[in-house]
Amino acid sequence: MRRRTVVVVALAAAGLVSGCSGGGESGAGDGGIGSEPIESSMLGCVAPERPPSPFAYRLETLIEGLDLERPTVARPDPVEPGRWWALEQAGRLVTFTETDPSIRVLLDISDRIVVHPNFEIGALGFAFHPGFPEDPRVYLTFTAHPETPETVATFYLSAFRVDADLARIAPESEAVLLRVALPTEFHHAGTLEFDPTGMLLVSLGDGGVPENGQDRTTLLGSLLRIDVDGPRPYGIPSDNPFSSEVGARPEIYASGLRNMWKFSVDHATDRIFGGDVGGGRREEVDRIDAGRDYGWPTWEGTICLGEPCDDGSVPPLADYGHGVGRAVVGGYVYRGRELSALDGKLLYGDWRSAKIWAVDPDDSGSEPDLLLEEGESMSSFAEDGEGEVYVVTRLGGDNLRRIVANPQSDGDALPDRLSRTGCFDVDRPTEPADHLLPYEVNLPLWSDGLEKDRWLSLPPEGQIRVNPDGDWDLPVGSVLVKSFRSSGRLVETRLFMRHPDGVWAGYTYEWEDDETEAWLRRGSRQVELGDLLWTLPTRADCLGCHTKAAGRTLGLETAQLDRGVVNPETAGEISQITLWKQLGLFEDPTAPGLETGDPLRALDDREAATATRARDYLHVNCSGCHRPDGSGLSSMDLRRATPGSEMGLCNREPQIEVEGFEGMSLLTPGVPQQSILWRRMTKTGARRMPPLGSAIPDLGAIPIVRFWIMGMDGCDER
């Protein structure tokens, strides 16, 4: 197989970092972090302490070491201050305290749960009875095994009783209030809240069938309101808006909802606010009033999808497009004491981008304020008894984080000039420092045709740990450096750092036209590169692709780096991994994950099968999000090692309906024109994939993926 080669300079095993200081004066470049002189906190291109956030708010971990398994809800204990309850997606209801992260399981119904880590399916919501603990009932919504072969699951609303000492919930105490057959794996919502009159509010998504949003003969696509203290299994409140409408389900309080994953009741005004997850275009935040229609599927946010557009439905309080986020998470009206500037503002966020906004709940024309962006996918918000608001994160521990003020620090920050980072020569900023290790990958991520150069810097004594699956885990202090060129001219250089607290973060330096310096950017910006409009990412954008599920460092894996390079000692070819072993870069050079011989194949590698090249391309460009616990809004697992039958792709309906792709499967064997996967690769704008990091189709990949699909006879093929 023909391989590209890269010359590797001779490096001492311990000489990947230098002792030179990167200090210097700051300038006033566009997007720089300041205009006052600062001293660099970076020494020899080693990741420093995380710089201050440019936002006025941040997230503060409430309980160090708390490690919940994909939590969907968290609530403070109504009896014991400092104790919390949380519901995990797989079916456990657990409790813990703010002083002890150890988890005590109260209820485990995981044997009944239908769950997928990428879906709103599983254990979805829970709430305490308003009379708790005198009335010891807690209410859960969850998806259980289907009761008929025509459905994928059954939505349950059930009451369980806590025992006398509040230490256990017996599964046999269950009283089923409601069962709803679910036609697809998508859009189940499931949030539970009691309103001020003691009625239980239950959100139900459209079940993946958009027409349900306008059909009041079904409970799907609605917010329900029921009386759990009425006749069994529940009563219908007399003031429900459709209780006397012929043919309508009397439980319905509001309709026209796609998937109101999270909503809340403002205890100061008794008003209901929810985030309705959109399809392919808009995410919306709504104030929910009795008897109102919120437009789905005629409306998606402020976009009319079909006639009649003057249908009397309620416009959203706020909405945003998929260039900003991907799935809205409804939050709370802030009623705490600590953040006075947010008093009375509705807080909401986005599941994928982890951005959090505040908007005036009384003014649908007001512009939301972006409060923070943390880069961790959230599943919900939580509120304590004092009105303080928290974020519940899905993955990776420390799952409960409080929104707090972020005082602007006068301490060390990242240098605003690239030449002051220690990663590049101070006098020749385009030249990497001698101690940086250049490397190449077998199959680069598509970046609109821009050329890329890559380097690695490890801290003193730092070594790489290799996981069994071949992913590489870099030590604290590591820096990955990538420069982007267009027609040979430097456009930007990105530093991806693992800070001393173990957290990865990305930073972009934008080059001046004459390439004399690159300046640190705070936010996103679009630059014209001939006919291409190239987007410089925000810090949160970096983590949108470098997901926690993918191990953050996408290119640092054995299959990517298993390639030939020029041996600096002999000028002959040597395995890049063998060379790095000789340099002493690995904790365990015999680790099973370092076994070579199965490299990723380039698109133009004609010695590799078409299926191999297509699957490898999807692995590199798509599997960062589309894998278990990834941030992709679908069931797909596009890692190269996943068997074809387990990819969640073949003959599967999409979770998000996108205009122009109606009636298509994600992948239809033999028919690329009926395969959304391939069709979206050919598009531009909001309909193309991936949604971040590129704007134009990869003309080299499109025919490879097309021929792969054309050659498929069934779903079991690789």
pLDDT digits (tens, 9 = 90+) for 190-201: 999 999 999 999
Give the pair of three-digit tokens for residue 514: 């004459």
Q: What average pLDDT does the segment 497-515 reach?
A: 93
DSSP 665: B
Report yes or no: 102 and 96 within 8 Å, Cβ to Cβ.
yes
Of the CA atoms within 13 Å of residue 443, those in its CB half-sphere come to: 28
pLDDT tens profile 73-127: 999 999 999 999 999 999 999 999 999 999 999 999 999 999 876 678 999 999 9
pLDDT at 323 over 90: no
Q: What is the pLDDT of residue 27?
A: 33
Distance CA 647, CA 708 (A): 15
Please tell me the distance from the alpha carbon of residue 432 to that of residue 481, in angstroms, as a whole number: 9
* Cβ(556)–Cβ(571) below 8 Å: no
Cβ-contact 580, 591 below 8 angstroms: no
What's the CA dihedral at 615, 617, 623, 624 to 10 degrees? Answer: 160
Rg (CA), the chain: 27
Residue type at position 549? A
As a whole number of angstroms, the distance between CA 505 and CA 494 comes to 10
User: Is there a contact between 139 and 200 (Cβ–Cβ < 8 Å)?
Assistant: yes
Q: Measured between alpha carbons, how far is 273 from 544 in angstroms, rounded to an integer? A: 27
pTM: 0.77
Average pLDDT (632-639) is 80
Q: What is the pLDDT of residue 241?
A: 98
Average pLDDT, integer, range 669-679? 93
| pLDDT, greater one: 33 or 380 | 380
- Tokens encoding 261: 């994953």
Query: End-to-end CA distance of the chain, in Å?
Result: 22
**530: which strand partners?**
none
What gap in Å lies between CA 24 and CA 419, rounded to an integer? Answer: 9
Higher pLDDT, 634 or 269: 269
* pLDDT tens track for 437-478: 999 999 999 999 999 999 999 999 899 999 999 999 999 999
d(CA 352, CA 349): 9
Separation CA 157–CA 137 (nearest Å): 13
Contact 405, 339 (CB under 8 A): yes
Q: What is the pLDDT of residues 130-168, one digit of tens each?
A: 999 999 999 999 999 998 888 999 999 999 999 998 899
pLDDT > 90 in the chain, percent:
70
**Nearest by Cα to 548 from 493, 491, 515, 504:** 504
